[in-house]
Structure 1
Amino acid sequence: MDLEDAGSLARVKFLIRDRDGEYPALIDEILGGAGITTILTGVRVPRMNAIMERWVKTLRGELLDRTLIWNEIHLRHALQAYEQHYNLNRTHRSLAAAAPLRAQPQPLGPDRIERLAILRRDRLGGVLHEYRHAA
């Protein structure tokens, strides 16, 4: 299947690629003729593609592979809810189990661990789970 065979099934608007010399200018011209704009990654940002590929892999594994998407509106809602979950509630190893847009949690003392109560909130029909300490 190529772009012409896809027809209305897939409307490709952009191709994001690095600045490697293996992509000749002819490819950009061919894609431009098909209405696809080529966007180059940053000049001195060699890991830019890797970071986005990792985010897309996480999105697929945690949300899209577990969800049946009905239409574009449902997809936009699911992506918005996942982005909020990812940045505000999901723990990240590289941030010492903190979320990117939250402060790092304070370690609990032994006296608080014995009386620890956790509340769970399900999002997107139970696909995503968010946990917090009960007040």
Structure 2
Amino acid sequence: MVILLVRGGHGNAVGVLVLRHQVAILRRQVRRPDLEPADRAVLAGLSRLLPRARWPAFFVTPATLLRWHRSLIARRWTYPRRRRGRPPVTAEVRQLVLRLARDNPAWGCRRIQGELANLD
């Protein structure tokens, strides 16, 4: 940062040109960049700061940037997922059902369910 302040505007412009040329060289050598999730989040966030006319500066397509941004927002606003299926039965209820079935062998599951509903 200190060096950038000392060099002034002309030095910054030359530095940007050097960086752009290096990126162009790397684009020719690497077919597909290997991006980590943090890289994607940074690029998606930076894309919101640039006007769309400047998006060709990125080495990914605008559709990819928008998809990354959507997934970033979705992760931020995603609520915890509910477990699928029936909720677990407590050990106390399980012991009560087994005791009712053991004490009354002629009762079926419907009768045991009815008796448990009458307990409330």
The structure where strand makes up a greater share of residues is 1
Q: Whose Rg is larger?
A: 2
- TM-score, structure 2 as length reference: 0.28
- TM-score, structure 1 as length reference: 0.26
The structure where helix makes up a greater share of residues is 2
